Amino acid sequence: MSPGAPRGDSAAPATRPAYDHRVGARQRAGVVVVGAGIAGVACATELARAGIPVEIRERARVPGGRMASRRFDGRPADLGAAYFTVDDPDFAQVAEGWRSAGLAREWTDTFVAYDAAGRREAPGPMRWAATRGLRSLVEHLARDLPVTVNRLVLGVEPGPVVDGRACEAVALAMPGPQAALLLAPTLAAATRTTQDQRWSPSLAAVLRFPARRWAAFRGAFVNDHPVLNLVCDDGDRRGDDAPVLVAHTTPEYAAGHLALPTGAGPAVEEAVRDLLGLPEPAEHVHVHRWTYAKPTAGPGGTYHLDADGVGLAGDAFGKPRVQSAWRSGRDLGRALVTRLGGG
């Protein structure tokens, strides 16, 4: 199967009748996209651009998904993805749009790495950051789309039918284990695809200190550590020099604290202070739980779309990157446009 091929679509018709937008022409809704992360928003963008009715339903209070940001004393800090990288020409155009809007900037191509041998520089690809938090980038893409937040979807049944309402198709833009909870058992193709995904957890801790007392760095990979996996200088990332660090834990450490993530705060703070040699305790520590932080295995292709009219998208269909999630949603959206005869 080629990298861009969908899963489970061989029995599906190539197209369906084109939409007629006259009142009463169709009783079914258009496409329902569940999840307002970047994959869901990218999918809905393609549908809206082709003139196909689409609505996004998001269970959280705001869009963003795992590109999550939260404000502390009026200042945003990134709790999910730490940055994004760009090597896809189409996604590069999206990034340039964010840059032109003053929302994103090239941040650094060099992190440091800590391991048994000490500290060393770790050059890599250019990493981009968002001055208002990565969530602002998703909000920017969704600014003209119909997004309903605080809208929990309870079930998807054959038809497809979403919470009792028939639609032309449904796109589940979320980790497979979460999508599986919504799918009726008779939606076998989509269910199998969710079962092909494997995910690892993480905890993200925002730590605000009295002052910036650490040696200059932007981001640090922490290798072979019992608690830490990644630490980012959020003041440098944001560009405001705030004395704020964001630490991400190892999957193994997170797995033992998913039931009570706040209880992990003191140990994460101690690990960060020990790593960076910080003399003062943090003034504030906030810990966020990510049960499905990063895909470790997934199906082939860049998305799933089957004969039942159920689509799946996200970074499980590729490398665990913001770009992969965007491309997955974009590709699913285009496949739905072809299926439904839009544009």
Question: Strand pairing partners for 33?
Answer: 56, 171
Q: What is the pLDDT of residue 298?
A: 87
**240, HSE (Cβ side, Cα atoms, 13 Å):** 14
Q: Are strands 147-148 and 54-57 parallel, antiparallel or unpaired?
A: parallel
Average pLDDT over residues 190-218: 97
Q: Pick the residue with more confidence: 190 or 21?
A: 190
pLDDT above 60 (res 18) = no
Range in 38-42, 117-121, 194-198, 284-288 the model is least confident about: 117-121
Average pLDDT over residues 94-118: 96
pLDDT in tens, 55-82: 999 999 999 999 999 999 899 999 999 9
Q: What is the pLDDT of residue 239?
A: 94
The backbone torsions φ and ψ at residue 286, rounded to the nearest 5 degrees and listed phi first, read -125, 130
Residue with tokens 């679509």: 9
Distance CA 25, CA 19 (A): 9
Among residues of the chain, what percentage have pLDDT more than 70?
91
Burial class (CB in 10 A: 0-12, 13-18, 19+), 59: middle
pLDDT above 60 (res 264) = yes
Taken in order of first residue, the domains within the chain and their CATH numbers are: 29-64+137-197+298-340 (3.50.50.60), 82-88+106-132+200-295 (3.90.660.10)
DSSP secondary structure, 21-90, as one string:
-STTS--SEEEEEE--SHHHHHHHHHHHHTT--EEEE-SSSSS-TTS-EEEETTEEEE-S---B----HH
Distance, CA of 323 to chain centre: 10
pLDDT above 50 (res 261) = yes
Distance CA 187, CA 70 (A): 36
pLDDT in tens, 166-193: 999 999 999 999 999 999 999 999 999 9
Range in 11-15, 75-79, 286-290, 326-330 the model is least confident about: 11-15
pLDDT above 70 (res 1) = no
Written as six digits, the tokens of 15 are 């197209």
pLDDT above 50 (res 272) = yes
pLDDT in tens, 225-238: 999 999 999 999 99
Distance CA 144, CA 128 (A): 24
pLDDT above 50 (res 20) = no
Q: Pick the residue with more confidence: 300 or 127?
A: 127
